[in-house]
Amino acid sequence: MGKIIAIANQKGGVGKTTTSVNLAASLGVLEKKVLLIDADPQANATSGLGIDVETVEIGTYQLLEHSATAKEAIVSTNSPNLDLIPSHIDLVAIEIELVDVENREYMLKKAIEGLKADYDYILIDCAPSLGLLTLNALTAADSVIIPIQCEYFALEGLGKLLNTIKSVQKIHNENLDIEGLLLTMYDQRLRLSNQVVDEVKKHFDEMVFKTIIQRNVRLSEAPSYGESIISYDAASKGADNYLSLAHELIQKNEKE
């Protein structure tokens, strides 16, 4: 049975999509069968895997509306063992459309329930907000990865996200776990980066992934070519970091 992992943080620019795309690609390269669900109206994970967003006819929007099945929404990517449910700007409307719908927080869970048997990992790239889309992702997920950038105000808003996770556990999904906190955009030359690492480890200790994602030019270039870092530059520091994260995730889950 596959594991569903949401990648969430309501702060923008912390490396959610970068992590979703590159962790998914890394798990695929390590011979795990992976599905990435783009649950962000900006659709960056979709274009980051080389899919033209304008051509998307069935995606997360139709899934949440239940006007298409998950199987109909899945597209294959050029990345080994990696499938995608794409997003489109239409997804912006879903929060308004679902507002009066009963059990609206469970739409994604219902839609993807049958997919767990087909994949080792299902990753959900969440929107940078704590709205209904993210709530759907957290309700559908087994666990959540929280990227935190090694910059000023890194921990700002984290308390709010952890409270949201607590209330999701209480009301919608008692089995939701925190898979781990992932430090991103680390620059070892900066004292601030090192301070953030120390602070996060001091507060959260065991919850923090050992792998730290370093700042890497190749990593920021890859999406503009519609490629993951693994296919764009497998020898880069970024590829090395995400493969290390994928190994850590697999090891952790095989122990359980």
Task: Give residue-wise pLDDT tens across range 156-205.
Answer: 888 888 999 999 999 999 999 999 999 999 998 889 899 989 989 998 98
Structure pTM? 0.95
Task: Give residue-wise pLDDT tens across range 95-122.
Answer: 889 888 899 999 999 999 889 999 999 9
Task: Give residue-wise pLDDT tens across range 50-100.
Answer: 999 999 999 999 999 889 999 999 999 999 999 999 999 888 898 889 888
What local confidence, expressed as pLDDT, does residue 168 receive?
A: 93
Average pLDDT score over residue span 236-252: 96
In which element (H, E) is residue 181 found? Answer: strand 177-184
CA dihedral 254, 5, 193, 42 (to 10 degrees): 150
- Return the bridge partners of 126, or none: 39
Domain borders along the chain are 3-255
Q: Is the pLDDT of residue 244 over 80?
A: yes
Dihedral sign from CA coordinates of 176, 81, 76, 180: positive
Average pLDDT score over residue span 27-56: 95
Architecture field, domain 3-255: 3-Layer(aba) Sandwich (3.40)
Q: Is the pLDDT of residue 25 over 90?
A: yes
The C-alpha atoms of residue 238 and residue 216 are separated, in whole angstroms, by: 6
SS3 239: helix
